[in-house]
Structure 1
Amino acid sequence: MKKYLSYTAVAALSLAFAGEAMATEWNVSLWGKRRAFTEHVEKLAELVSEKTNGEFTLNISYGGLSNEKENLDGISIGAFEMAQFCAGYHADKNPSLTVLELPFLGVETLEQETALSLALYDHPAVQADLGRWNATLLMPSPMPQYNFVGSGDAPTTPEEFSGMSVRALGGIGDAMKAVGAVPTSMSATEVRQAMDSGVVKAVSFAPHAHMSFGTIESASWWTGNLNPGTVNCPVVANTDALNALSDAEREALLGSIDEALTHYIDYYQNETMKAWGPALEERGIEVISFDEDSLKAFKDIAAGPAAASWIESNTARGLPAQELYDFVTGKLGEIKGGS
């Protein structure tokens, strides 16, 4: 004998399926492991889920969706809805962002880095640049100035990097080339093996990455105050996916960015930097401090030529490069004046 579901049961199932269909899930492509560098994305996911009662979720993957150097490509084709990447991994794909990677810009704090990045992300030329990849900039991943850990003889002046193979991206690479080093670009996940095998003798990272990717395990020295620059690593959304969100979902996402960034900065300052000093001491890593004359000479050699080269090459590719450089330097002056 056939059995039939009652009207009430059918209606209940229909509502259940409809509710399930209404839920929105975004896939988020990160790399490595959860660390200070990803805390704002983790916090964003938490806030979005809370504000939508679990109806909008961000499913975070560490390396399971894409190689970090291909995250922007994945965003462009809609392979996932959100991703993090570093401009220096592929300067040709996002040239407008690399102005923030020029050496010795003068950024002093994570708060300044955050404000400067967000201001640049609103610039029409930058939005058009990322628009070529169907990407909308959401928030930066502010990092302190990069410095080097290395093995072998410790440099006592910037010039003693001459001939040394170093991992350095973007403007930091340009700065190191100016003092005779041999910079190479590689992703964070490739660095430990390159250092252990001697392919590079020194690696530039922010402190969290030196700990997360193990470069301090084979290091004997750390440049405590070279501060040649940093790398800009935004979080972006696929523009079509962002536009497809309901008003409530979009508000839950975009309205949570400030809180996510505040959490990120607090975590970096109170957790990561608290652990950094003891991590160096435990491993007997020598902290190198360069004198003011050496640092000034390094800046004089690197900063002006790198900026001029950036402006020339990016003007040739059709960017309003001088305008972007002037915008960044002027905006940073405003930010520092008001802090």
Structure 2
Amino acid sequence: MKMTLRTAVAAACLIGFAAEASALTWNVSVWGKRRAFTEHIHKLGDLLAEKTGGDFTLNISYGGLSKNRENLDGIEIGAFEMAQFCAGYHRDKNPTITVLELPFLGVATLDEEVAVARAVYEHPATQKDLARWNAKLLMTSPMPQYNLAGMGEPPAMLEDFEGMRVRATGGLGDAFRTVGATPTSVTATEAYGALESGVVDAVAFAQHAHLSFRTIDLAKWWTTNLNPGTVNCPVVVNIDAYESLSDEQRAALDSSIEESIAHYLANYGELLKKWESILAEKNVEKVVIADDQIAAFRAKAADPIRAEWIASMEAQGIPGQELYDLTQEVLKSCHEADEAMTPSGVKTAC
């Protein structure tokens, strides 16, 4: 009887050890704090745990695994399995996706942002580019057009940007430079301190970031309609980690992307509905830039920066013109129909 009991206990332990061994947790490196910008990652984690009965989970770390400018490096060496980063933090490391950060690209909605990002991510040149970092592009983090929150005198004319110190990364920084501003690429987590100390006069962010990083708490004004562009911040996974997944785990991951993005869009939509009341509550002046001034800004920034970007990409052997044309074809499809096929065969829904 004792042997039978001992055998049963041993068998139960072995089963427990086996179950524990089969469970998988991926570490995910992000920064700041939980916010609209990271909601799709949390939704993805919930879906994975649900679909696998807890056998595949995400451990989402806000700054505990890496600095935000070093997340791609961490993915390369396998320090963690998943990470979020923004292309403008290190344009030389991910040149292909910087096409999505070109000023005045023409993206008007978050759905369009998802569609153009998906198409660019699926392009062979982009996948080859990110594979240098052992990174597989999983999903985008769509953000609205950026606008400025600042202190001091609000800009009304284009010349008012002359000498203004603006926190703006990537193509946005290039755009503000064309109108005489001085862009700086301090990270999102450094933006509040930079604005408070006077290192910058204004910060270019989407609405969620102005809230999360509290720049709106300092701001005296907000440009409602400047809309020069946005930044692109993918979620990537380590290729080796992805390929080592079981068929069931990989299916759970792949099948959860669209629902995670849908959750992100719905959540961000709720934030945008509240934005006007937030500005009123904080007594932030809404600055409306005249149409002729925006047109002048676009003329200075859009065509010259795009031409320079394409030439730079082509010189590196990257199909810059093709990538840019792809974004425009997708946007055209978005405007013409709810669903369309891009030249690369990527189905888009806008």
Measured against the shorter chain, the TM-score band is over 0.9
- The code of the aligned residue for 1:140 comes to T
Higher mean displacement: 148-157 or 306-315: 306-315
Unaligned 5+ runs, structure 2: 339-350
State the partner residue of 1:153. Answer: 153
1:260-271 → structure 2 map (5 Å cutoff): 260-270=260-270
Structure 1 runs (4+) greater than 6 angstroms displaced: none
State the secondary structure of the residue aligned to 1:6: helix
Cα distance in structure 2, aligned partners of 1:335 and 1:247: 34
Q: Distance in 2 between matches of 1:258 and 1:336?
A: 21
Give 3-state SS (helix, strand or coil) of 2:226's partner.
coil
The TM-score normalised by the length of structure 1 is: 0.97
The letter for the 2-side match of 1:242 is: Y
2-side partners of 1:163 and 1:4: how far apart? 83
Q: Counterparts of 1:162-177 in structure 2 under 5 Å? A: 162-177=162-177
Percent identical pairs in the alignment equals 58
Q: How far apart, CA to CA, are the structure 2 residues paired with 1:105 and 1:187?
A: 23
Write the deviation string for residues 202-251 of structure 1: whole angstroms up to 9, x where unpaired. Answer: 00000000010010111111000000000000000000000010111111
RMSD between aligned alpha carbons? 1.4
Q: State yes or no: 1:218 paired with 2:204.
A: no
CA contact (8 A) 1:177 1:183 kept: yes
Amino acid in the other structure paired with 2:225: N
Instruction: State the shift of 1:4 in Å.
Output: 11
Cα distance in 2 for partners of 1:198, 1:84 equals 29
| Cα displacement (A) at 1:5 | 7.1
Aligned 1:173-212 pairs, distance under 5 A: 173-212=173-212
**Equivalent in the alignment of 1:280:** 279
Structure 2 distance, partners of 1:190, 1:303, is: 28
What is the Cα deviation at residue 330 of structure 1?
Answer: 1.9
Structure 2: how far apart are the matches of 1:36 and 1:260? 12
For residue 168 of structure 1, what is the amino acid of its counterpart? A
Q: After superposition, give the CA deviation of every residue in 1:15-69 in whole Å (9 maximum; x if it has no partner).
A: 1101100001100011111100000000000001000000000111111111011
State the Cα deviation string for residues 82-133 of structure 1 (Å, max 9, x = none).
Answer: 0000000100000000000000011010001001101111000000000000
Residue correspondences, number: 337
Q: Distance in 1 between matches of 2:259 and 2:226?
A: 31
Letter in 2 for 1:60: I
5+ unaligned residues in a row in structure 1: which ranges?
none
Distance (Å, rounded) in 2 between the aligned partners of 1:212 and 1:264: 16
Q: In 1, are the aligned partners of 2:115 and 2:330 still within 8 Å (CA)?
A: no
Opposite residue 198 of structure 2, the aligned amino acid is G
CA distance in 1, matches of 2:220, 2:268: 24
What's 2:341 paired with? none
CA distance in 1, matches of 2:315, 2:160: 34
TM superposition shift of 1:268 = 0.3
Distance across 1 between alignment mates of 2:157 and 2:301: 14
